[in-house]
Structures are given as C-alpha cells and as structure tokens.
A and B are shown apart, each in its own frame.
Chain A
C-alpha cells in the first residue's frame, strides 16, 4: 500500500456524513468535570478550529478524540461508524493523526526517517521478511513526493537530519507526517506556539493545502488572527462545554473572545 495513495484516495466518506463526530462526550477527573457533554463534527475538506480559555477543556476534548483519554460517556463516530480508542495507537491506526506542539520529531534522524518513524517499511522479498532490511530508498522517494505534494519548498533534501532544520521546517516535517498517514483527520495542537511569524505562516499554508486535498483538519490554537485566517468553523469551549460554533464570516474576533470569556453568547 503506497503512502501517497492513502492521501489522494481516502476511503470515500458518504456525502453529508461527518468524517469525525463526537456526541455528548463527558470526561471527569475525580470531582473535576473536564468535559461536560461536548459534541462536534468535522466534514471532509474543512478546517475546524477549537478555541477556549485555559481550562476550558480544549486539550481534554482533543485527547478524547485521539485516544489519549477514554471518555466516560458519549460516542465517537468515524465515517458514521462508532469507534472507541483505548490508546493513541488505536486512533492512529484508524487514520487520525496528531501533531503535538512540542515538535515531536527525532532530531538526529533525517526527514525521511522521521516521516516513517514507527511505521518503517521493509524491502520486498526475503531481504525484508527474513533479514528485516528497511526499504530506505523507497521511503525516501515517497517522502520526497509527500513533501513536494504539500509544497514544502524548503524541505528539498529528505536525507538531511531534522536537527539542521529551523523550527518551522521541523513543524513542517511533523505536519507532513500527519498528512501522509492521517487518511481521515489531522489534529494540530497549537502547531505554531513555538514558531516565529514567518514560520507560523508556513504552517498555516500547509493547513490550507491539507484542506484543499480534502483532509479535515482540527486546529487548536490560542492565536485568534491565525484561527480566523484558516478556519471554516470555530468551536468555542467554555467551562467544559461547547459555548458556540461560529464561522469567521458570522462573528468577529471580538465576538469570539466575548463568547470565550462568557461576556456574550452566540
């Protein structure tokens, strides 16, 4: 199975059915209610931003979607089918890829090795099955194609060690990895928090390109201008509940902040 095919030909989602849907998720930590019946939907080719104040339940919500937490109540539907993730690997296997804010790449390994880290491919025949040889040239070729497809012009050499790259380029590697394997949904948790202005813009361009390719993106961010720049819809968390879901057209940034802080309702 080719890496590239996974992206260009995702398993067709029936029209109108959200790719990922969460229904009334509840997650408590002792007496603290992290999520109090939160629902959300993401459709193909859509960027859904999740915003909210600290402690509003953004991270808890994301962790429930990506298998890091198991919700106490509620349902997760992937392509309309109910799923339950016991650990992050389950979500990953189902096609939900997450990019973490702390640049989770391996610095000493090269770009291609990082793209395939944890799912290396072996050579065909006995070289792979008995001697377990890696298909290094094949993985490099596909890494190059993936990077090209996402238009990451600054990552032309996939054999360069990631530690020689800038923060933005490293994040681009992480996003490219998620895009390569996230056949269903790509989740980005504060992808620009550690980056400068120019590097943030590179990542935002990548998000837009992912949307163009029909992959739904869930973006968690504190940065209102960035959210309003790329999001199609904005899910606002407040005190463990969904306060509102708005669009950049229907509401202004000031409105969004007001809803976040409880000064207004949608």
Chain B
C-alpha cells in the first residue's frame, strides 16, 4: 500500500505503523507482484554456474541445442499454464498432443492427404480433445485432475488404436510436416522454425492474457470463481475457452514434435504431461490458480533444459539431473506457498 499523504488521524497513524515491513517482507512483496522474477533469478544463476563449470556451455551450438530441446515441452507448457491459471491441472496434455500428431501423420501417410489438410485435421483432433476436457470440467463438474486423468488414458488408447502402434517416418510424410525442424541462423545461434513458432505463441498468449478482457477473466476465474461469477463473468464459458485454446496450442506442439523427432510415434511424449507441469511450477505460476505469468513458464522450461544440459556437460550422471529437477520443483512450490502468505 502506498500512502504518501500525511496521516490525518490517530487511526491512520496506527495503520501506518502496522504497515511497516521487514526487508524480507519487501522481497516477498516484489516476488508476489512479479511472479517471473524468481525463475529469472534462478535461470541467471544457473547459466553463470554451468557456464563457469564448462566453457562449452556458452557455445552457440549448445545454446541452440538447449532451445531446440525445450521447444516441444515449452509449447505444451503454454497450454498447461492456461489451465493452471484457472486453478485446474491437465494431466492429458502430452497424450492429446501425441493423438494430434498421429492424426497429422496418418492422414498424410495412410490417406495421402496434402500436408495442410493433414495438419488441419490434427488441429481438429486437438481442439476436440480440449473440448472434451472442458466439457467434463464445466458440464459434468469433474475436478480437472480426475477428468484429465481419465482422458489421459482415453487419448493414449485412441492414439494406439488409430495408429495401430505404427510410427510414421519422416520420409513417409510430406515435407511441410517436418518443416518445423528446418533451421535459420540468427547470428551464430541456429534457430529452428519450431523454436520461432514457440516464441511466437508465447508472445500471442502473453498478449491475450495481459491485454484482453479474456485474459483478465481467466485470472479472475482462477483466483476466485465465485467472485468472478458475481461480477457477471460466465465462468463456465471462460473455462471452456481455456481448454479449447489449450487444445489449439497442443496441435502446434504436435507439429513441432514431428519436426523435432523426425517422425510421428504413438509412444513419444509420455513424459510431457508431467514435464509441462514442472515448467509451469518452476516458472512461478501458482497451482492454486490466478497468479503467474506466461513468460515465467518459458523461463521454467528453459531452466529445466539448462539444468539437464549443464549437468550433462559437467559430466554428471543422468539420474542426478532428474534429482536436481525434483529438488527444483519442491523449492519452487515452497517459494510459492511462502509468497502467497502476503494475503492477509
């Protein structure tokens, strides 16, 4: 609270006195107001530490590798962020993305459809998957955790049934399907189309969340759904739009995934369900909804990539990478709990 005018009464003086805060409270206040600050600090520290351990870390080829490795989970995490902002969670993002990618690949390979139509059909599949989750949450009133645990299995089964367990290889698909893997040099860093599309999506979603009424409503619904309803917001419609928008984002992730792995495999991406939650949580978005920024998620995804890459370059066993990520998650959520105590 900023109160620059002189206090006018003894009561105001008392309020002024009560308002005095310790430096730690101030830090907490800043973190509370700017949720992306903590992941930004972690990322800078991680880069300094890993860069000083192994100078190859800063090689342009290594930096572009990190970004490329982050592109799929970074995109999936956009969808996850939207849902977590509404105080939900989506365990089915990875499965829905793979379903979408198999529809894209199979309709192009088996049915011989042109790439744009195949990609569009994959988008339709992802939108339908999002709409199903949205329907279960808003109409059937299932908790998002349970609804998406169910659809996770449904999507995995549908993917395997539809694809017959077959992987579609790069050579079997039109070129546009794997276009996301082609690279542009930006300076010495080699940027793939997938990375650029991911960053473009972040810009788009940041705009939608920060500058439109829809974004305000997403935060309001996640923050306090009852208060949002009383303010005249149609909370069901907002939730539905979030799940469908998440589906659209997952279709883009599916396209990037096909390019990155050079194939569409029904068994890929099982880790993405939880990895996307990891990126969101490390990025400072609250699992309780209503608090967080999309850029934090990008930082969170990059932090995970930097940790894995830096520990690998430092010659640390892969199991310790997983251990480090686990500790990072616990610390991030603990910090979030501490920050949320600002609420009186």
What string of 1s and 0s marks CB contacts (under 8 Å) between B257-275 and chain A? 0000000000000000000
A70-89 near B? 1/0 per residue, CB < 8 Å: 00000000000000000011
- What distance in Å separates the Cβ of B17 from its nearest Cβ neighbour in chain A? 14
User: Which of A24-32, A118-126, A245-253, A257-265 sits within the interface?
Assistant: A118-126
> How far is A114 from B230 in the complex, measured between Cα atoms in Å?
12
B290 touches A106 (CB 8 A): yes
Residues of A within 8 A of B227 (CB): 103-106
Render B193-216 as a binary contact track against A, CB cut-off 8 A, 1 for contact. Answer: 000000000000001000111101
A117 in contact with B11 (CB, 8 Å): no
Given contacts A154-B3, A156-B2, contact A109 B214 (CB under 8 A): no
Partner of B232, one of A113, A118, A160: A118
The residue in chain A whose Cβ has the minimal distance to the Cβ of B8 is A153
Measured CA separation A113–B212 after assembly (Å) = 11
**A141 interfacial contact with B, CB 8 Å:** no
Contact, CB under 8 Å: A133 / B290: no
A107 in the interface (beta carbon within 8 A): yes
Is A134 touching B343 in the complex (CB atoms < 8 A)? no
What sequence of 0s and 1s flags, for each residue 192-215 of chain A, a beta carbon within 8 Å of any chain B beta carbon? Answer: 000000100000000000000000
Whether A106 lies near B228 (C-beta < 8 A) is: yes
Is A92 part of the binding interface, using a Cβ–Cβ cutoff of 8 Å? yes
Majority secondary structure of chain A interface residues (helix, strand, loop or mixed): loop
Is B344 within 8 A of A153, CB to CB?
no
What B residues does A165 contact at CB under 8 A?
Answer: 1
B344/A166 in contact, CB under 8 A: yes
Asked if A145 is an interface residue, CB under 8 A from chain B, the answer is: no
Interface residues on B, range: 20 to 34
Give the nearest-CB partner of A87 in chain B. B232
A33 within 8 A of B: no
Contact residues of B between 278 and 292, Cβ < 8 Å to A = 290-291
A133 and B212: CB pair below 8 A?
yes
Of A89, A92, A100, A117, most B-chain CB atoms within 10 Å: A117
A132-B212, A132-B214, A134-B213 given; A104·B230 CB < 8 A: yes
The one of A100, A108, A132 that contacts B230, using a Cβ cutoff of 8 Å? A100
Give chain A residues whose Cβ lies under 8 Å from the Cβ of B214: 132
B213 touches A160 (CB 8 A): no
Q: Quick check: is A54 within 8 A (CB to CB) of the other chain?
A: no
> Nearest chain A CB to B61's CB is how many angstroms away?
38
Residue pair B231, A118 in contact (C-beta under 8 Å): yes
Q: How far is the CB of B330 from chain A (nearest CB, A)?
A: 24
CB <8 Å contact, B233 and A117: yes
**B213-228 near A? 1/0 per residue, CB < 8 Å:** 1101101100110111
A161 engages B33 (CB within 8 Å): yes
**Which B residues lie within 8 Å of A88 (CB)?**
230, 232
Nearest neighbor of A181 in chain B, beta-carbon distance? B232
Classify chain A: how many residues form its interface, as a range. 35 or more
Q: Which residue of A lies closest to B85 (CB)?
A: A108
Tell me, in angstroms, the Cα distance from A154 to B220 when the chains sit together.
23
Interface presence of A255 (CB below 8 A): no
Contacts of A119 in B (CB 8 A): 232
CA distance A89 to B233 in the complex (A): 9
A163 part of interface (Cβ distance < 8 Å): yes
B342 within 8 A of A: yes
A164 touches B342 (CB 8 A): yes
* Cα(A113)–Cα(B227), bound, Å: 13
A117-B216, A157-B2 are known contacts. Are A106 and B211 too (CB-CB below 8 A)?
no
Kindly state whether residue B5 has any CB partner on chain A within 8 Å.
yes
The winner among A104, A108, A119, A157 for most chain B CB atoms within 10 A is A108
When chains A and B are docked, how far (Å) is the Cα of A21 from the Cα of B207? Answer: 45
Say whether B223 contacts A92, CB under 8 Å: no
Q: Which of A103, A105, A157 contacts B1 (CB 8 A)?
A: A157
> Which chain A residues in 231-261 approach chain B with CB under 8 Å?
none
Residues of chain A lying within 8 A (CB to CB) of residue B216: 109, 113, 117, 120, 134
Q: Is the CB of B228 within 8 A of A117?
A: yes
Residues of A within 8 A of B233 (CB): 117-118
Chain B residues, CB < 8 A from A92: 232
Q: What residues on A are CB-neighbors of B8 within 8 Å?
A: 153
Contact of A163 with B212 in the complex, beta carbons under 8 Å: no
Using Cβ atoms and an 8 Å threshold, which residues of chain B touch A105?
Answer: 224, 227
Contacts of B29 in A (CB 8 A): 164
Given A160-B1, A198-B11, check contact A107 B231 (CB 8 Å): no
Chain A, Cβ-Cβ closest to B2:
A157
**Interchain CB contact under 8 A, A108 and B223:** yes
Q: Which of B3, B5, B213 has the most CB of A within 10 A?
A: B213
> Which chain B positions have C-beta within 8 A of A113?
216
CA A250 – CA B213 in complex, angstroms? 50
Task: Select the residue from B5, B207, B211 with max chain A CB neighbours within 10 A.
Answer: B211
- Sample 8 A-B pairs with CB under 8 A, ordered by A number: A88-B230, A106-B223, A106-B228, A118-B231, A118-B232, A132-B211, A153-B5, A177-B231
Closest 7 A-B residue pairs measured CB to CB? A118-B232, A120-B213, A104-B230, A118-B231, A117-B231, A104-B227, A106-B220
Q: Beyond the given A92-B232, A104-B231, A134-B212, please list 11 additional residue pairs across the A-B interface where CB-CB is below 8 A.
A: A104-B224, A105-B227, A108-B291, A109-B223, A118-B233, A132-B213, A133-B211, A134-B213, A136-B211, A156-B2, A160-B1
Chain A residues in contact with chain B, CB under 8 A?
A: 88-89, 92, 100, 102-109, 113-114, 117-120, 122, 131-134, 136, 153-154, 156-157, 160-161, 163-166, 177, 198
Q: Interface residues, chain B, CB within 8 Å of chain A? A: 1-5, 8, 11, 15, 29, 32-33, 207, 211-214, 216-217, 219-220, 223-224, 226-228, 230-233, 290-291, 342-344
